[in-house]
Structures are given as structure tokens and as C-alpha cells.
Amino acid sequence: MPPEIDFHLHPELDPKARELPGTDKAITYRSALTEALVQADPRGHREMIEELQRSDLPMHTLAIQLFSPVAAHLGRLWCNDETDFIQVAVASTRLGMIVNHLSQNRSQTIRDRQKARRVLLARTQGALHTIGVSIVASCFRDMGWDVDGGADLELNDNLYMRLSNSSYSLLGISVGRVDEVDECAAAIRRVQSRRGLGPMKIAVGGPAVMKDPHAFGNIGADMVAKSALEVMHLADRMGA
């Protein structure tokens, strides 16, 4: 594939992502969702929640084809000084509310599954914008995984306690800043040194990995994910 293709803004150009059910319909919501997130009237994002609920699109399709590219677009607007921090912060909060509302609503219908794979999600202290963690969590839930942790779980004793008390198929770490690579590597070494974890895999992702994936290539993780799409590919392979 041509290197100039930006899969963060256009995940539909990835052949596997293109196969997600409802891709074309999800893409049509991008402009409306972006407008609802940045406009002053808060009723827009509430109406968007209702519209997406009526669409009955799979949550992992929404996560990959709608929420992730819209979040990436908001980030580009801020980086290019086309909007200010407050507007991006409000938009990110609204997007997080939409993702969490839809994800929790959908997850209630799959809680009766048995022997589901479990993922534990955590973040570094620098990962202040946690919308990406919420999007990834929603994607895993819709693919039949049990999701523990999330945007509130940092790389501290609470993480290691959960790993001691429960078994997981995957640990996902969102890294906010590139200068946190050593902290992330130390956490991975500590996790891997603990006995009784079984065949658990470790994946790292987040804004820092997107910015400089090569910095995280040799820190002990089983996968370095540059996007929610790559996380979905991992979950798909592990769930096969």
C-alpha cells in the first residue's frame, strides 16, 4: 500500500477494515459527528447518540470507522492551530460520553457469554486524553471480550494487584508521551517477571506509539499498535 495513505483518518482504505459490516454507513456519520462535537449546543451530541443507537451498527465498526478517525481529525485540528484546546477538550469529552454510552448499552446484551477472553487496559500518567482507551475498550467488548481496567487504571500497584487476582489473555497499555518509554518498559519487565500469568500477551499503543512507534519496538511488548485498527486485528487473531 502507498505509504502516504493515512489510515488514522481513513481506516476504510485498509482492506480488512473495509470488510467490517456497515462500513459505508458508518463513514456517512463522520461529518455530522464532528459537527455535533464542536458546536456550542450540547443537544447535538445527545441526538447523535440516539441516531447511532437506531443505526444498529456493530460497535467495533463504529469504533474503527467513525470514532477513531473523528478523534484523529480533532487532534489534527489542534496540532494545526485550527481550533483551541478548550474546544478540543469539550469535543473529546462529548465523544467519550458517546462511546461509553453506546458501549455500555451494547455490552449488556453479551454478558451471558461463557469463557470469554479477558483484556486488562491501563495507561501511563501522561495519557491524559483517554478517549482512545474508551474506543479500544468498546471495540473489545463488541468482539466478545470481557474488559477490565480502562482510562482510570495507571501503571501502579493497582495494576499489579489485578494481574495477581485475575487471569487475562491480554494487557493493553496506552502511552501518552514518548519520554514515558522507560516507565513502560519497566512495567512490562515487572509484569513478565511475575509467575502465574500464563500465556498473557502485552500490547502497547496510544498517542506516543502513534507518534514514534520505533521507540517502543524493543521494550518487551508482544505488539506495538499504532491505531485502534491494529488492536482490532490483534483481538481478531487472538479470538480465532
Non-local CB neighbours of 61 within 8 Å, separated by 6+ positions: 20, 21, 22, 23, 26
Measured distance CA(207)–CA(212) in Å, rounded: 9
Q: Give residue 4's pLDDT band: very low, low, confident or very high (50, 70, 90).
A: low
Q: Which residue has the higher pLDDT, 3 or 68?
A: 68
Non-local CB neighbours of 128 within 8 Å, separated by 6+ positions: 176
Q: Give residue 131's pLDDT band: very low, low, confident or very high (50, 70, 90).
A: confident
Convert the pLDDT of each residue in 57-97 to its tens digit: 999 899 999 999 998 888 777 666 667 778 888 888 899 88
Q: Give residue 122's pLDDT band: very low, low, confident or very high (50, 70, 90).
A: very high
Dihedral angle of Cα 14, 219, 92, 48, to the nearest 10 degrees: 40
Convert the pLDDT of each residue in 111-120 to its tens digit: 555 457 899 9
Q: Give the amino acid at 80.
A: N
Q: What is the pLDDT of residue 178?
A: 94
Spell out a b/e string for 204-237, using b for 16 or more CB atoms within 10 Å of the CB, else e.
Answer: bbbbbbbeeeebbeebebebbbbbbbbbbbbbee
Judge whether residue 181 has pLDDT over 60: yes
Measured distance CA(93)–CA(8) in Å, rounded: 20
Domains and CATH numbers, the chain: 12-110 (1.10.1240.10), 118-239 (3.40.50.280)
Q: What is the pLDDT of residue 6?
A: 75
Measured distance CA(238)–CA(232) in Å, rounded: 10
Convert the pLDDT of each residue in 215-234 to its tens digit: 999 999 999 998 888 888 88
Judge whether residue 144 has pLDDT over 90: no
Q: Give residue 197's pLDDT band: very low, low, confident or very high (50, 70, 90).
A: low
Mean pLDDT of the chain: 85
Q: What is the pLDDT of residue 109?
A: 52
Q: Give residue 37's pLDDT band: very low, low, confident or very high (50, 70, 90).
A: very high
